[in-house]
Structure 1
Amino acid sequence: MTQVAIEELLKRCGSVYKLVILAAKRAKEIAEGAPPLVETEQRKVTSIALEEILHGRVLYQAEEPAGPGKRSRARPGDGDRRAGGKAKEEKKKRAAT
């Protein structure tokens, strides 16, 4: 596989964005030592990942969103950021009581 038609890969993933995410994550796994799931002469981890996707060895699965009570990170408007750095002081006071 020297060049893969994007149409064939899109049939597997359904979206360019999903394809990019899937290929990048799988390429990272291969780079970190995971064995390839297909027999290939390719050397580049991205090419190996795309070939695996083409052969249906790697599938896209959406990650679970953070559940109730779990926050990924603070955002403006969440009440954690207040002018003058008072939020940190208030957190310390709450933790001490």
Structure 2
Amino acid sequence: MLYPSIDKLLEKVDSKYSLVVATARRTRDLKNGDTLLIDAPKSKKYVGMALEEIFSDRLILENK
């Protein structure tokens, strides 16, 4: 089961596409050594950690 759920994540962003792009960018940053913005992630994978950051409002997405 994915945590956080897609339904909950879509409440934080405009569209699925925005979510995918933001998650991919943040995942790349985490792989390159960027500091994690949440204290105790449930996921051990970078994609899951990026999604948890978005869900916890630690990573704010801006419309451009």
TM over 0.5: yes
For residue 31 of structure 1, what is the aligned residue in structure 2? 31
For residue 43 of structure 1, what is the aligned residue in structure 2? 44
Q: Following the alignment from structure 2 to structure 1, what is the Cα–Cα distance between the partners of residues 14 and 63?
A: 13
In structure 2, runs of 5+ residues without a counterpart are none
Q: Following the alignment from structure 1 to structure 2, what is the Cα–Cα distance between the partners of residues 62 and 14?
A: 9
Contact 2:54 2:60 in 1 (8 A): yes
Counterpart of 2:31 in structure 1: which amino acid?
Answer: A
For the pair 1:60 / 2:47, whether they are aligned, the reply is no
In structure 1, runs of 5+ residues without a counterpart are 64-97
Deviation beyond 3 Å, 4+ runs, structure 1 = none
Deviations along 1:14-42, one digit per CA (max 9) or x if unpaired, are 20000000100001000000011002242
Say which structure, 1 or 2, has more relative contact order (CA 8 Å, 6+ apart): 2
**TM-score scaled by structure 1?**
0.58
Contact 1:13 1:59 in 2 (8 A): no
Contact 1:12 1:54 in 2 (8 A): yes
Q: How many residues align?
A: 63
Q: CA RMSD in A?
A: 1.7
